Amino acid sequence: MADPIFEVRNLDVRFTTHDGEIRAVKNVSFDVAAAECLGVVGESGSGKSQLFLATMGLLSSNGRATGSVKYRGKEILGLSQRKLNRFRGSHVTMIFQDPLTSLTPHMTLGEQIMEGLRVHSHVPREEAEKRAVEILEIVRIPEARQRMLQYPHEMSGGMRQRAMIAMATVCGPDLLIADEPTTALDVTVQAQILEIMRELKTELKTSIVMISHDMGVIAGIADRVQVMREGEIVESGAVEDIFYRPRHAYTKVLIDSMPRLDKAEDTAAARSAIAPDAVKLLDVVDLKVHFPVNAAAWITKPLRAVDGVSFTLRQGETLGIVGESGCGKSTLARAILQLLPRTDGTVVWLGRDLDAHRKDDMRKLRKELQIVFQDPLASLDPRRTVGQSIAEPLTALMPLLSRAEVSQRVARMMTRVGLDPVWINRYPHEFSGGQNQRVGVARAMIVEPKLVICDEAVSALDVSIQAQIVELIADLQAQTGMSLIFISHDLAIVRRLSHRVMVLYMGQVVELADREAIYADPRHPYTKALISAVPVPDPKIERARKRAKLTGDLPSPLDSRAPLTFLKSKIINDPNAEQYRPKLLQVAPGHLVAEYDEVI
Amino acid sequence: MLSYTTRRLLGLLPTLFIIVTFAFFMMRMAPGGPFDSNRHLPPEIERNVEAAYNLDKPVYQQYLIYLDKLAHFDLGPSYKTKDFTVGELIAAGLPVSVKLGTAAMVIAIVFGIALGTVAALHQNKASDYSVMMLAMVGITIPTFVTAPILTLIFGVYGVDFLGMNLTLPVGGWQGGALRNMILPVTVLALPQIAIVARLVRGSTIEVLRSNFVRTARAKGLPAHVILLRHVLHASLLPLVSYLGPAVATLLTGSLIVEQIFGIPGIGRYFVQASLNRDYTLMMGVIVVYAVMVIGLNLAADLLYAVLDPRVTYKR
């Protein structure tokens, strides 16, 4: 290997906490060579972030690092902040996961990019401004000069992360450490950011450390990979070796639990067949949910969160709903559950129009319709034991049950979701994320509902845990014959469970088809872009792929032209005009595609 | 923002109306009247006096008359301080109180921010603990204890420091001479310094732990740049919300401090007017106080929006 620019030897990171000392990183040694990309993979709690925060002298005050970190042969661990600042931020830089909280809210983008440059290179203001504009163009921020005057909250997530990258590269660093830079972003935006980082590596010859939990992201960019688990490096090697010839069992688990879009589905068992005579459970017709938003001082505009969505769902069927943040998928779920008032449209449940229902009817309906939320810890009451949380729907909806009967059912349900019933008196904070989500599933399932809506139910979990929860939900569906609406931004997960898939864009359906048809034969350009943006955990395929690219940001949902991004020929050029609504055309039996322009 | 400010200012009127109404009737429910303590007057004269001030009319009529005058910015004559209108009395007292309060607040802000920030930067170290202990003492000891003690030391015993006579006057105002201001301002500022310091310490510690400060450190910025440019701005935001009502309280005069040091501010009117049943003076002080509290709270909210670009006031 060429001269390493970054050498880490026997690095230990310890934290002093109330519960004693925690060793987050255990005796880790590795090198980073010039112009290479090192991928660091691991699940939450593997110590991968703390490892690199330690090398940059950024540990929190209760943390302590020992060992050796050398940058170009010079020891930098344990240097005073002042000495460390000679290359921190100029030669070695770091970007973080959440670009909103990682940018200073009260400073404009321009100020934040230029201050590093002015501190490290002592260039005059005009020169700094010129360099900042240049770097913003490299990271493809359009209208860079105007953007420099904006505050972070005025930009989209993708723009913010680009700004972070600009900030970290403006001094021309040798090494850029990226800590989960795309985790908080939508897939299409993630694809754009990864593209930019690949360019930095090849064109500016910057070494990159890419920290990620996503094997697909790593496959696309890393030259070498090291896998971390519980503070240790369990395996490291060239990217091909890691992906094609993994030796450590944990590496294999990580690769295998990644759902893959490029391979034929091997988990057919995850879905049970629908009976041919299955009854129609749910019929949603032209559902609309609009929120009034203050556009100017005295004017409100409707934000069309859900704008005319129709679909049906049969007993035992799973409908996957995919789309990027802001597409209205969660609003749709809440409107179906009557947790939000709808602006227009009907929801028919087993032949009865839900509008006609009264409050006590809704209570009965709650027994048949349940939801599992995204953040398992936040959606459980921290002051109630998991047993109480699971039992609550039962006591609320079936008040005639005896206490003994309730606790018996709770214990049975806990066993079914893979929780030991002796944990019944534990509190949510005593459980891991995966276990808490099992509690969430148990809470939804205990009243034996006919339909469960899973709103990003596995998105916050590690991949290996994700796979387990998906299996669990599929098993429960096979046993009970319930229907599922599975909402996710992750197309691969949705494919695993769904019979049919609906793609939403700006509150409207752009494509609805059987699972096979959507993934094998996507028609709408947005569906194509979504599918091709999902990284595949296979270095050869991932690097050779041609992507159907979406450029730029999602348009503002307040702009009535937004849903017509793919049908520009019908746009009336006025953001407030009543626009043409793309019709859903049937291109094959059961395959609906919204109108779009052939050439954009 | 403009329309927001207009709306808030319009909202001031109903609030003021409620305050005035409530205060007016509360005061009338208390026994006694403005002329009860006078030598007994012959009934005819008493009736004449009462008629002159409309006190012979039913209370609701008096209320309507008062509202009408108030709408014309007329606070009426003082019942007890003869030959002065309430407007004149307030015009004489308010500037004194404002001067005293402003001086105390400026000192409190400067020292409070400095002490709070130092404590936050040395969290859980000796300097932090000593600042916080002093702050606790500052908050718990009331002004009617600190004022006499300081008066005793600097006013009565006198202090000779390196031959300089640092003895300060124990009271009086003398048109706001510096020597006369030192003691009352110090007494007023001490608890405020303590409160501001605690507030700033808490918010600074929170900001120091935030992700954007980590980013600033990762950029390799020197510590003083991080503190002045990234931390202070964010950590002072909670202070702005506190300062609105706090400034109003200080500016409108501290009853106790003005009483102890014999300062002709607006605070003593409060006490005198309520004891004497000087209805109009009492109402005048209440109106001034209410306008100041509402106005300064609005100012704090607007300042907040200027300091935090994420906050916009629409509608």
Domain with CATH 3.40.50.300 in chain A: 4-257, 268-521
In the three-class reduction of DSSP (H, G, I as helix; E, B as strand; rest coil), residue B242 is classed as helix
Q: What is the 3-state secondary structure (H, E, C) of B251-266?
A: HCCCHHHHHHHCCCCC
Predicted local distance difference test score (pLDDT) of residue B203: 95
- Asked whether the ipTM of the predicted complex exceeds the cut of 0.85, the reply is no
Q: Are residues B20 and B138 in the same domain?
A: no
Q: Å from A121 to nearest chain B CA?
A: 12
A2 or A427: which leads in pLDDT: A427
Q: Are residues B289 and B258 in the same domain?
A: yes
Q: How far is it, in rounded angstroms, from Cα B286 to Cα B299?
A: 20
Q: Are residues B22 and B131 in the same domain?
A: no
Which neighbouring-strand residues pair with A30?
A8
pLDDT > 70? residue A553:
no
Q: What is the mean pLDDT of residues B275-291?
A: 86
B165 assigned to some structural domain = yes
Q: Å from A119 to nearest chain B CA?
A: 7
For domain A268-521, give the fold.
Rossmann fold (3.40.50)
Structure tokens at A206: 């910057």
**Taking CA A260 as the corner, what is the angle to CA A255 and CA A264, rounded to the nearest 5 degrees?**
120
In the three-class reduction of DSSP (H, G, I as helix; E, B as strand; rest coil), residue A560 is classed as coil
In the three-class reduction of DSSP (H, G, I as helix; E, B as strand; rest coil), residue A321 is classed as strand
Note the pLDDT tens digit of each residue in A195-225. Answer: 889 988 888 889 999 999 889 899 999 999 9
Residues of A within an 8 Å Cβ radius of B: 56-58, 60-61, 81-82, 84-90, 93-94, 96, 98, 101-107, 115-116, 119-120, 151, 153, 164, 167-168, 294, 296-298
Q: What is the mean pLDDT of residues A310-325?
A: 91
B249 assigned to some structural domain = yes
Q: Are residues B112 and B167 in the same domain?
A: yes
Q: Are residues B192 and B53 in the same domain?
A: no
Q: How many CA atoms lie within 13 A of B250 on its CB side?
A: 29
Which neighbouring-strand residues pair with A314?
A280
In B122-236, which ranges are continuous DSSP H helix? 126-140, 143-150, 178-208, 211-218, 223-225, 232-235
Q: How far is it, in rounded angstroms, from Cα A170 to Cα A120?
A: 10
With an 8 Å Cβ cutoff, are A106 and B314 in contact? no
Q: What is the mean pLDDT of residues B89-104?
A: 89
With an 8 Å Cβ cutoff, are B309 and A151 in contact? yes
Predicted local distance difference test score (pLDDT) of residue A552: 63
Percent of chain B topping pLDDT 90 = 28
Q: Are residues B118 and B58 in the same domain?
A: no
* Strand pairing category for A37-41 and A224-229: parallel
Distance spanning both ends of chain A, measured CA to CA: 46
Q: Are residues B51 and B10 in the same domain?
A: yes
With an 8 Å Cβ cutoff, are B310 and A151 in contact? yes
pLDDT > 60? residue A270:
no
User: What residues make up the domain containing B7?
Assistant: 2-71
Residue of B nearest to A114 (CA): B219
Q: Are residues B104 and B201 in the same domain?
A: yes
Percent of chain A topping pLDDT 90 = 37
Check if the beta carbon of residue A184 is closer than 8 Å to that of residue A98.
yes
Q: Are residues B62 and B125 in the same domain?
A: no
B110 assigned to some structural domain = yes
Residue from A85, A88, A94, A106 to probe the interface with B (highest B Cβ count within 10 Å): A106
B213 assigned to some structural domain = yes
With an 8 Å Cβ cutoff, are A116 and B221 in contact? yes
pLDDT > 70? residue B77:
yes
Check if the beta carbon of residue B280 is closer than 8 Å to that of residue B80.
no
Residue of B nearest to A88 (CA): B220
A331 or B83: which leads in pLDDT: A331
pLDDT > 90? residue A140:
no
Number of domains in chain B: 2
**Closest Cβ opposite residue A88 in set B211, B212, B218:** B218
B144 assigned to some structural domain = yes
Q: Are residues B141 and B186 in the same domain?
A: yes
B77 assigned to some structural domain = no
> How many other CB atoms are found less than 10 A from the CB of residue B287?
18
Predicted local distance difference test score (pLDDT) of residue A10: 95
Predicted local distance difference test score (pLDDT) of residue A298: 63
Q: Are residues B38 and B115 in the same domain?
A: no
**Closest Cβ opposite residue A90 in set B211, B220, B309:** B220
Q: Which sign does the torsion angle of CA A343, A344, A350, A355 carry?
A: positive
Q: Are residues B54 and B100 in the same domain?
A: no
Structure tokens at A189: 């935006």
For domain A4-257, give the fold.
Rossmann fold (3.40.50)
Q: Å from A555 to nearest chain B CA?
A: 20
Q: Which residue has the tokens 């003398």?
A: B174
B293 assigned to some structural domain = yes
Task: State the burial class of residue A507 (Cβ atoms within 10 Å of its Cβ: 0-12, 13-18, 19+).
Answer: buried
pLDDT > 50? residue A269:
no
* Weakest mean pLDDT among A140-149, A556-565, B42-51, B84-93: A556-565
Q: What DSSP state is assigned to residue A88?
A: B
B164 or B128: which leads in pLDDT: B128
